[in-house]
Amino acid sequence: MREGSQGQVLTLALLLLVVFLLRKFNDFRRAAQSVNNLPGFRTLFSDRFVWFPYRVKGISPGLQSEVNLYRKHKDFEEAGWDIMSGVNVFPSSEVTLYLADPVVVKEVAGARSRFPKPMGPYKILLAFGPNLVASEGDEWKRQRKLVAPAFSERNNRLVWDETVHIMHDLFDNVWGNRDVVEVSNATELTVPITLMVISVAGFGRRISWNEDAIAPAGHQMTFKNALDLVSHNLFLQLLFPKWMLRWGTPLMRRFAVAQDDLQRYMQEMITARRDADIKEERHDLFSSLLDANEGLAESGEKLSDTGLMGNVFIFMVAGYESSAHTLAYALILLALYPTEQEKFYQSIKKVLADGRTPTYDEFSTLTYSMAVFNETLRLFPPAITIPKQSAEDTSFTTTNAAGEKRTIPVPKGTFVTVHTPGLHNNPKYWEDPDTFKPDRFLRDYPRDAFLPFSGGPRGCIGRGFSETESIAVLTLLIARYRVELAHEPQFAAESFEQRKARLLRSKLSVTLYPTRAPLVFKRR
């Protein structure tokens, strides 16, 4: 009798499993049919399944990891269209459309209400409170109203002047009379530069290259170390509850300490600025944000301290990390392509013939500097995917390399992802897309196929800040020093492509960054 009962239970369990699998199969098939079986990925897990971010055929597309960067436009070429689909089984049968068609991308980026952000991928940016980037709908409008005035022409001028001051401090007081300066990794130079820029132009706190070496009273880490550790390991916030972080691996424990320290730093800045006896006129982002927030008190739209800290955190991460990493990639590429670096240097000499330091009013004349910056962003966009979701039933029309058109249904709820590396390396719009060619941006270029700062109403509000500091850094650095690759005997037999792949190997934190690239700076 017992054996019979066990057999019945087992039979019932198998029957339920079969029913479950059949239902999953039917859901999966219906999902694929909803986009007319558009070619692409067919996997168990979606690219939003954070516990498995790697690419394994049939398991996960891995498009939220750096594999997206390395594949560039290849997945679209294999699919045969500049839009491809991803259909997964778990956690539920969902469809994602990946876009590398600039016409469709422009439509999606420009229609905020039709294609809002899905908030799931942005939870990681809520570590310190609600903010502009991780908001949508009416909350986004409120955040935007508060934050937008801070990013003004006056702030850009401050960014330029302070960046020049920081670079001269580097040249005069850190590198001094040395004709040759070696750095073990490009980011070891660029991270401190952009951190000091955001510190003064973002928060009115000027620091020198020799400061911030010891944690102040009440803190276990310096501001720089806490910010760097938190921004590079934010994924831990998403994967583990806070109590587990405090008792986990050494990295998890350091992250928890850094997170607490950074929160204290931000609260101290808010309190000190709010309680200051003398309210001087300042143009740093933080002061402008506080002033704007106080001005909203009567309307009831004023943010809490948590809301202020959320935006302060975004200022810090977006304001230093993305620029630091883009500058690192730019220096690596200039070292890999010495001919392009020489063109850049000659263009600087032509604009600044007497060797003087450019002013902010001359920003628009530094066209080659901007071209280098843009070409770097084309090859290494900070955000390798820009997620959206369709709020209505609609359709896209795309054209393949043979000129054939295809209309793709887009049911309401479909995830729509701008695939930035695919867009930026689409050979239909970019000649020789794998090669570093800054001067392509000196001519008429396909603007709709270039989206490093997103686009439309949700375009990056800090674009001017990033462009201003980056152009100043690149211009001043290349005017005075030639950047070269460090000689490493163990890699002497490498081909150019092998060396390029090694030095540009990347990881993804909040933004994309190069893992290791030793450089040498030689005085001109």
Residue 498, pLDDT > 90, answer yes
Is pLDDT larger for residue 354 or for residue 52? 354
- Please state whether beta strands 519-523 and 415-419 pair in parallel, antiparallel, or not at all (unpaired): unpaired
Cβ atoms < 10 Å from Cβ of 238: 13
Eight-state DSSP code of residue 121: G
pLDDT at 205: 73
What one-letter code names the amino acid at 328?
A: A
pLDDT at 280: 56
pLDDT at 297: 55
Return binding residues.
Answer: 460
Rg (CA), the chain: 25
Structure tokens, 409: 């249904």
Residue with the two structure tokens 């999966």: 28
H/E element, 217: none
Residue 146, pLDDT > 60, answer yes
Kindly list the domain boundaries of the chain, sorted by start residue.
Answer: 137-523
Cβ atoms < 10 Å from Cβ of 304: 11
pLDDT digits (tens, 9 = 90+) for 316-371: 776 678 899 999 999 999 999 999 999 999 999 999 988 889 999 999 999 999 99
Phi, psi of 116 (to 5 degrees): -70, 165
Residue 302, pLDDT > 80, answer no
With cut-offs at 50, 70 and 90, classify the pLDDT of residue 41.
very high
403-408 mean pLDDT: 92
Q: Yes or no: say if 411 and 390 are a contact pair by the CB < 8 Å rule.
A: yes
pLDDT at 168: 95
Exposure on the CB side of residue 235, measured as CA atoms within 13 A: 16
55-63 mean pLDDT: 82
pTM for this entry: 0.88
Exposure on the CB side of residue 417, measured as CA atoms within 13 A: 22
Nearest to 459 by CA among 144, 145, 97, 215: 144
Q: Any idea which of 103-117, 199-213, 272-286 has the lowest mean pLDDT?
A: 272-286
SS3 content of the chain, % helix, strand, coil (to 5): 55, 10, 35
User: If DSSP codes are grouped into helix, strand and coil, which group holds residue 41?
Assistant: strand
* Spatial separation of the C-alpha atoms in residues 317 and 201, rounded to whole Å: 14
Query: What is the Cα 120 distance to its own chain's centre?
Result: 17
Is pLDDT larger for residue 23 or for residue 304? 23
pLDDT at 332: 98
Nearest to 238 by CA among 134, 384, 344, 82: 134
Average pLDDT value for the chain: 86
With cut-offs at 50, 70 and 90, classify the pLDDT of residue 301.
low
* Spatial separation of the C-alpha atoms in residues 389 and 115, rounded to whole Å: 5
- Please state whether beta strands 519-523 and 95-99 pair in parallel, antiparallel, or not at all (unpaired): unpaired
DSSP characters over 425-476: T-TTTSSSTTS--GGGGGS---GGG--BTB-GGGS-TTHHHHHHHHHHHHHH
With cut-offs at 50, 70 and 90, classify the pLDDT of residue 418.
very high
Residue with the two structure tokens 């490498």: 494
- Give the CATH H-level superfamily of domain 137-523: Cytochrome P450 (1.10.630.10)
Alpha-carbon distances of 498 from 7, 133, 503, rounded to whole Å: 60, 37, 9
pLDDT at 42: 92
184-213 mean pLDDT: 82
**What number of residues does the chain have?**
524
152-161 mean pLDDT: 90
Return binding residues for heme.
Answer: 460
Question: 7 CB contacts (<8 Å, ≥6 apart)?
Answer: none
Ramachandran assignment for 56, one of left (phi > 0), alpha (psi -120 to 50 degrees), beta (any other) = beta
Q: Any idea which of 121-135, 180-194, 431-445 has the lowest mean pLDDT?
A: 121-135
* Spatial separation of the C-alpha atoms in residues 75 and 79, rounded to whole Å: 6
Structure tokens, 8: 């019945």
201-220 mean pLDDT: 77
